[in-house]
Amino acid sequence: MEKGYQEIWAECLALIQEKVIPEKFKTLFEPIRAVKFANNVLTIQVPTAYVYEKLEGDYIDILRFALRHVIGPKAKLEYAVIVERTKTEDPVTQTLSSDKKPKDGGNTVVFNQPKDTEVKNPFDHAPHRLQIDSNLNPSYTMENYIEGNCNRLARSAGMAIAQHPGGTAFNPFLIYGGSGLGKTHLAQAIGWEVKQCHPEKIVLYVPTHLFQTQFTEAVRRNELNNFLRFYYLIDVLILDDIQELAGKEGTQKTFFHIFNHLHQSGKQLVLTCDKAPAELEGLEDRLLSRFRWGLAAEVKMPDFETRKEIVTTKARKEGIDFSDEVIDYICQNVDNNIRELEGVMISLLAQSTFNKCELTLDTVQGLLGKMVKKQSEELSLEKIQQVVCEHFNIPEELLQAKTRKREVVQARQLAMYFSKNLTKYSLSYIGNQIGKKDHATVLYACKAISDLMDTDRKFKLQVEEIQRKLYCGN
């Protein structure tokens, strides 16, 4: 009995799963569905053109192996790329067929877009809901977004939004923090979760610079109404880097109308920004006031433990064999942001692969010194206590005294906070050196400082000032 296309693809998936790491298999291969098999050609349906490009760029050999093992040496593959779909309507697809052969005799996939699905400009006509691509990166999921003290509130709120988009008090949801701390990752992860929990919802991720370009083009072509109608269709709008709206009055005015329409219609807005709403400049007051309607959650620099989990997860995902001492060394010396941390990991992997060298501690120390700008003097607990006490104008010995004076307690807590986040020392060692306390007291002190920074902007600025003094002259 001849095999059906679903059975063929199931056998292929079983072979592919043995050769692909679980995270990649889940995000790239599990969403794929077989739709047809005829004349040795298997047609598979992939969720986005991005997934198609990843398959062709990184996994074509594995695909070819699986197909030829299950179907035979003449096996060929065709793709149907979904633009978007609902539960009740057929998918709009873009056909990608393997009808040209390269010199090595393999298959080259050629893009053939049917004329009836070709849309040169999404605002030429009011778009059909099926034709809106979410523009989400499959790598940015909740599963590989590492949770820590630096982002716990933001991640928890994001999960709540994904369950009930537009139905929580977190609308709009504004994620803010410095560059490279994972704001875009979290925002897109919310989008993916919404699509999983609510497949009928239309999710759209747009960088603000692209939104600005689309708006300018719509005005130039006298198609502003089409531009508005397009965005009114969206159920979950994710706008990245909203600080880039500053000074662009026309774009702000239009986004104000889009914001109002979506919010009043029970749609969800997720925004990212490099500053807290109170610190944004160049935006209209009426727009800023709307950003404060929901929840603004800060994503901070990851502490040592969170960095360690990020590195460990990244190493496992990429198949890098790092010893614990190497991981600790990386996390102690790369503490600016997550983007730099991941960049270092990629560079180390490349160095190991191309130079065929084992990533020992000595090797990593040599390579890391060329990639990361290090402070010339490593912070000591003594210097931290000295700078903190100078800031509060109190004698250093008071940090070791059993006093409950408010300014001394706060200075001691700050010294513990900086020691935990800016040095490699253990909690027990920090507590022993600062007031003869235990590790639980250090944890409590760090949480107390973090909570106060979240609620008191003046205190947060004070903490940032002390941190600048710590590195002054280093």
Label residue 232 exposed, middle or buried (CB < 10 Å: 0-12, 13-18, 19+): middle
- Do 315 and 356 sit in the same domain of this protein? yes
At 353, the pLDDT band (50, 70, 90 cuts) reads low
Q: Are 448 and 409 in contact (CB under 8 A)?
A: no
- Do 157 and 266 sit in the same domain of this protein? yes
Segment 100-128 mean pLDDT? 37
Q: CA 36: distance to chain centroid?
A: 35
Q: How far apart are CA 366 and CA 269, in angstroms?
A: 46
Q: In what order do the strands lie in the sheet with 93-100?
A: 33-38, 41-46, 76-82, 93-100, 108-112
Label residue 57 exposed, middle or buried (CB < 10 Å: 0-12, 13-18, 19+): exposed
Q: Is the pLDDT of residue 203 over 70?
A: yes
More confident of the two residues 104 and 285: 285
Q: Count Cα atoms within 13 angstroms, Cβ side, for 214.
A: 19
Q: Is the pLDDT of residue 172 over 70?
A: yes
Segment 379-408 mean pLDDT? 88
| pLDDT score, position 262 | 93
| pLDDT score, position 462 | 87
Tell me, what CATH number does 465's domain have?
1.10.1750.10
At 389, the pLDDT band (50, 70, 90 cuts) reads very high
| pLDDT score, position 38 | 86
Q: Is the pLDDT of residue 107 over 80?
A: no
Percent of the chain with pLDDT over 70: 79
Q: What angle do CA 228, 289, 173 make, to 5 degrees?
A: 70
Cis amide bond preceding 172, omega within 30? yes
Total domain count for the chain? 4
Q: How far apart are CA 29 and CA 47, in angstroms?
A: 10
Segment 248-277 mean pLDDT? 91
At 237, the pLDDT band (50, 70, 90 cuts) reads very high
Q: How far apart are CA 286 and CA 273, in angstroms?
A: 17
- Range among 81-90, 315-324, 366-375 rated most confident: 315-324
| 127 falls within a domain | no
| Residue where one domain finishes, among candidates 246, 268, 298 | 298
Residue 334's nearest CA partner among 410, 424, 441 is 424
- Do 338 and 425 sit in the same domain of this protein? no
Alpha helix positions (H), 170-320: 183-197, 208-220, 224-232, 249-264, 285-291, 304-318
| 134 falls within a domain | no
| pLDDT score, position 407 | 87
Q: How far apart are CA 283 and CA 332, in angstroms?
A: 38
pLDDT in tens, 363-385: 677 667 655 554 434 678 888 99
Q: Is the pLDDT of residue 254 over 50?
A: yes
Q: Is the pLDDT of residue 286 over 90?
A: no
Q: How far apart are CA 119 and CA 445, in angstroms?
A: 57
| pLDDT score, position 356 | 60
Label residue 349 exposed, middle or buried (CB < 10 Å: 0-12, 13-18, 19+): middle
Q: Bridge-partner residues for 33, per DSSP?
A: 45
| pLDDT score, position 355 | 60
| pLDDT score, position 84 | 41
More confident of the two residues 313 and 401: 401
Q: How far apart are CA 371 and CA 347, in angstroms?
A: 8
- Do 351 and 408 sit in the same domain of this protein? no
Q: Is the pLDDT of residue 332 over 80?
A: no
- Spatial neighbors of 39 by CB under 8 A, at least 6 apart, are none
- Do 43 and 113 sit in the same domain of this protein? yes
Segment 145-163 mean pLDDT? 89
Q: Is the pLDDT of residue 99 over 50?
A: no
Name the CA radius of gyration of the chain, rounded: 26
Q: In what order do the strands lie in the sheet with 173-176?
A: 203-207, 236-240, 268-273, 173-176, 295-298
At 82, the pLDDT band (50, 70, 90 cuts) reads low
Q: Both tokens of residue 118?
A: 């070709």
Whole-number average pLDDT of the chain: 79
| Residue where one domain finishes, among candidates 298, 333, 363 | 298
Q: How far apart are CA 135 and CA 130, in angstroms?
A: 14
| pLDDT score, position 83 | 43
Q: Are 76 and 63 in contact (CB under 8 A)?
A: no
At 352, the pLDDT band (50, 70, 90 cuts) reads low
Q: Is the pLDDT of residue 350 over 80?
A: no
- Rounded to 10 deg, the angle between the 183-197 and 152-163 helix axes is 20
At 409, the pLDDT band (50, 70, 90 cuts) reads very high
| pLDDT score, position 443 | 87
Segment 257-271 mean pLDDT? 93
| 419 falls within a domain | yes
Q: Is the pLDDT of residue 171 over 60?
A: yes
Q: Is the pLDDT of residue 221 over 90?
A: no
Q: Is the pLDDT of residue 126 over 60?
A: no
| 14 falls within a domain | yes
Q: Bridge-partner residues for 45, per DSSP?
A: 33, 80
- Do 25 and 106 sit in the same domain of this protein? yes
| pLDDT score, position 138 | 86
| 135 falls within a domain | no
Residue pointed to by tokens 């790598």: 139
Q: Are 123 and 230 in contact (CB under 8 A)?
A: yes
Q: How many residues are there in the chain?
A: 474
Range of the domain at 389: 381-471
| 423 falls within a domain | yes
Residue pointed to by tokens 């009114």: 232
Q: Are 417 and 434 in contact (CB under 8 A)?
A: no
* Weakest mean pLDDT among 71-75, 378-382, 408-412, 462-466: 378-382
At 93, the pLDDT band (50, 70, 90 cuts) reads very low
> 421 φ, ψ to 5°?
-90, -20
| 422 falls within a domain | yes
- Do 464 and 410 sit in the same domain of this protein? yes
Q: Is the pLDDT of residue 210 over 70?
A: yes
Q: Is the pLDDT of residue 135 over 80?
A: yes
| pLDDT score, position 150 | 82
| pLDDT score, position 26 | 83
Percent of the chain with pLDDT over 90: 21
Label residue 412 exposed, middle or buried (CB < 10 Å: 0-12, 13-18, 19+): buried
| Residue where one domain finishes, among candidates 298, 321, 342 | 298
| 126 falls within a domain | no
Q: Are 156 and 193 in contact (CB under 8 A)?
A: no
| pLDDT score, position 88 | 38
- Do 243 and 167 sit in the same domain of this protein? yes
- Do 187 and 285 sit in the same domain of this protein? yes
**Complete DSSP assignment for 142-203:** STTS---TTTHHHHHHHHHHHHSTTSSS--SEEEE-STTSSHHHHHHHHHHHHHHH-TTS-E
- Do 162 and 263 sit in the same domain of this protein? yes
